Structure 1
């Protein structure tokens, strides 16, 4: 019986890595150059990674003390280059590596999103992925004519309509539209192209899209919602869910919940992949790896870590006693990060200041050790039903990705749980995901309407 195959994605900023990754002695300083990203892309493709994943934000964080001073002073969350340009550079020097980027449904129009990712999917030969976010910082809202971010429910309502419009635009051309018959002079079949004529609460879009249907049908859809609204949205629309857990137990519970939700929406749960974050520190043995981690930990100023945490939860943490415990926060930006912090802080009895130090150098998934130790933990998570693979987060780049590629990947391959060569040509094929038929948007949108009606009946 063949073993379940692991999927690997690489989480990398289009800018400094992590909170203080730029301070690491082995960190490269070329994040403002194309060569930096092309090198990482080649490292990842040589190691047979499924994809590179670039997060994004549309503001310089100013959640800590209502100032962007910490973000600039410590490099915690800024600068960030445009992911689409970075991904285009990376796709140009690779032939199999998927390239996925973040774009907000809150501050981008469906037509622009459909056009940009449709173009990237064509130019990369079917390797594009869109990480769908609804934005979580007031600073982003303030760059787009708003004083505050809309509430979570409104943000997800807009995202639902955004996804319906975006996928309809991708479907506005048929797979067989292009003829390009030079002899007859027929370029395409207009009868296979349709306007969408959408008029909704948030968007009015005529269509059709100016880009033909893409190699993947839809670029791979990625989401990281951890709140009830986010989980429901992701289980309906996403192909890949990126998550963060402080314990194996919470990972198992999340995995089971997401697969159950997908089935309730009429989807095959196997077509929804769960990739928990894993910050790996590779050493000759556990002692060597821990020494590496502790030296990195010493580089973290507590305020740098708190700046990063305040950015994630969208709460000014300076309003609390930094030497006291973290109070309960009712409304936060990224709920998954907040739950992770609460779980760890309560267990370790950390003050807010100590949380900042820990958060700035946290290693998600507890993957510190030799290549064999890390492979053991990954196998444990897979076998326990907590993961379909992992989102590898490097503490510093490119060296930490190189360590993983050179040490851990061969160990996973030796165990027969990770590929030695790419199986397909598109990102969907390599992830084992079906190509959506034209009109698949109807199933997802109908599921959203059913869920909305059920919620209204239950009021």
Structure 2
């Protein structure tokens, strides 16, 4: 593991338009159509770039219901969105979600490879297997892939995509006008992959970018998800519900990576962050209490059900013990569902208590800017995270974090005051992956030194 005194905190921004909770869209300072307004995304990305954030992140899923959260009901497709943001920014990383369950490797390799070129080496792919079973019917299937099959498919999918990204050696295009040679044909390589789930010939009609390949992110929490993350991820997105569970997750992922011969420092683990910041701790706690008091229990039950493929929890007694779900499929968000069931059992929660616990995000970072910065530093220094992903919807909380919390982190030497690199790999301290067919590009650090 790296010297803890020289680690640098990483910060990303999840751009969630009108919001993934019940009430953000009600903010009069937030455009009601933010989730489909490219201008809003560009503005937020520029603000995050001004604060030297590592990346912006776009979540996605291919299935909705009438009860789905406001942002998810009506939002832009990630790759199209990020390509527009790439042309309006210059440094910040651009990470988007695409599923391995309902896409094809060649398409994904081409799309993310294109984004990597458009952004000059700032792209990242969040690899997901799609949790919601209803997505199957949007792609011509009557049933969702089984959980284990999804993860086996995902591993092969990533291998194929990375193989396609290496279709050309880094010096394959001499573009020599004098000799009339555009391509050195010996340096173009077919993939000829034939596996359990995919058959892809290649080559991809696209060369490698300045950072070699887009950065691979992943967010699975089940045992299969953690295994995949340890195998392929360079960045991990995690919930980070509380310090103890975040530290346990962090230790587990790093240990899994070490056990299979990977350098654990080459996986950056980022936890979700939704701080409540006010001038004093007392004021921040009052804001939190008021917000929780205004929650709609019916909507909390819907959100609780999402982890179980939108299981209808309204059919049970609110003040009865959390229901027996042994007959309910866990083929959706398996890790999250198992955690809810386990916690409800261990703590003897009623359904009402579980709805308030899991149906709404409970911030662990509440207080004055210094209090929030202190807690961020504690999580970082005590081995719970490598960084955080800030939820960005309403403008005022985002402003307070940038203007009041980030400067404290910078003054403590935890976070950069300006960019040292202009690729996402450079920001995250990741090396350029070796081209499996020959010469490699210089590292981001070497490029910056020229």
Relative to the length of structure 1, the TM-score reads 0.87
Q: CA deviation at 1:336?
A: 4.4
* Other structure's SS at 1:410 match: helix
| Structure 1 residues 206-225: aligned runs within 5 Å | 206-225=201-220
Shift of 1:221: 0.5
Equivalent residue number for residue 31 of structure 2: 28
Mark the CA change 1:374 to 1:69 in structure 2 (over 3 Å): closer, same or farther: same
After superposition, residues 192-203 of structure 1 pair within 5 angstroms as 192-203=187-198
Equivalent position of 1:57 in the other structure: 61
Alignment partner of 1:232: what SS?
Answer: helix
Cα RMSD over matched residues?
A: 2.2
Tell me the residue number matched to 2:370: 372
Structure 1 226/17 Cα, relative in aligned 2: closer, same or farther at 3 Å?
closer
Q: Do 2:285 and 2:366's aligned partners in 1 also have CA atoms closer than 8 Å?
A: yes
Task: Report the Cα distance in structure 2 between the residues aligned to 1:414 and 1:359, rounded to whole angstroms.
Answer: 35
Cα distance per residue 1:217-261 (max 9 Å; x no partner)? 221110011111111110010001111133222222111111111
Q: Distance in 2 between matches of 1:416 and 1:282?
A: 21
Say whether the 8 Å CA contact 1:177–1:190 is kept in structure 2: yes
How much does 1:401 deviate? 1.9
Distance in structure 2 (CA, Å) of the matches to 1:424 and 1:288: 39
2:440 corresponding residue in structure 1? none
Question: For residues 22 and 360 of structure 1, do their structure 2 counterparts lie closer, same or farther at Cα, with a shift above 3 Å needed?
Answer: farther
The residue number in structure 2 matching 1:411 is 408
Distance in 1 (CA, whole Å) between partners of 2:180 and 2:317 is 73
1:264-275 → structure 2 map (5 Å cutoff): 264-275=259-270
C-alpha contact 1:246 1:340 (8 A) present in aligned 2: no
Give the equivalent residue in structure 2 for 1:177: 172
Equivalent residue of 2:435, what SS? coil
Rounded Cα–Cα distance in structure 2 between residues aligned with 1:383 and 1:200: 42
1:339/1:292 CA distance change after superposition, 3 Å: farther
Change (3 A) 1:14 1:104: farther
Could you list the per-position Cα deviations for residues 197-222 of structure 1 after superposition, in whole angstroms to 9, with x for gaps in the alignment? 11112111110001111222221110
CA distance 1:421–1:202, change in 2 (3 Å): same
Question: Matched residues in 1 for 2:243 and 2:53: separation?
Answer: 23
Alignment size in residue pairs: 429
**1:180, distance to aligned residue in structure 2 (A):** 2.0
SS of 1:57's partner is: coil
In 1, distance between residues paired with 2:241 and 2:334? 13
Shift in alpha-carbon separation, 1:373–1:354, aligned structure 2, 3 A: same
The answer on whether the counterparts of 1:15 and 1:31 sit within 8 Å (CA) in structure 2 is yes
Unaligned 5+ segments in structure 1 are 61-67, 441-459
For the residue of structure 1 that corresponds to 2:67, the secondary structure is helix
Question: Match of 1:47?
Answer: 51
- Which residue, out of 387, 390, 401, partners 1:389? 387
**Residue 350 of structure 2 corresponds to which residue in structure 1?**
351
Which of 130, 137, 145 does residue 150 from structure 1 map onto? 145
In the alignment, the residues of structure 2 paired with residue 18 and residue 193 of structure 1 have an alpha-carbon distance, to the nearest angstrom, of 48
Offset, 1:186: 1.8
Distance in 1 (alpha carbons) for counterparts of 2:218 and 2:140 = 25
Equivalent residue number for residue 78 of structure 1: 73
Residue 262 of structure 2 aligns to a residue whose secondary structure is: coil
Kindly tell me: are residues 306 and 113 of structure 1, through their superposed partners in 2, closer, same or farther at Cα, counting changes over 3 Å? same
- Correspondence 1:37 to 2:44: no
1:365-402 C-alpha deviation (Å, 9 max, x unpaired): x10111111111111111221111111224x3333222
Distance in 1 (alpha carbons) for counterparts of 2:264 and 2:71: 36
Structure 1 residue 141 corresponds to structure 2 residue 136: yes
- Inter-partner Cα distance in structure 2 for 1:174 and 1:323: 63
Q: Is the 8 A contact 1:296 1:361 kept in 2?
A: no
Residues 48 and 97 of structure 1 are in contact (CA less than 8 Å); yes or no, is this contact kept in structure 2? yes
Task: Label 1:76 to 1:187 Cα distance change in 2 as closer, same or farther (>3 A).
Answer: closer
1:240 aligns with 2:239: no
Kept in 2, the 8 Å contact 1:243–1:336? The answer is: no
Segments of structure 2 that go 5 or more residues without pairing to the other structure are 438-450
The C-alpha deviation readout for 1:256-301, integer Å capped at 9, x for no partner, is 1111111112111110111111211111111111232234334432
Give 1:305 deviation, angstroms. 2.4
State the TM-score, normalized to the length of structure 2: 0.89
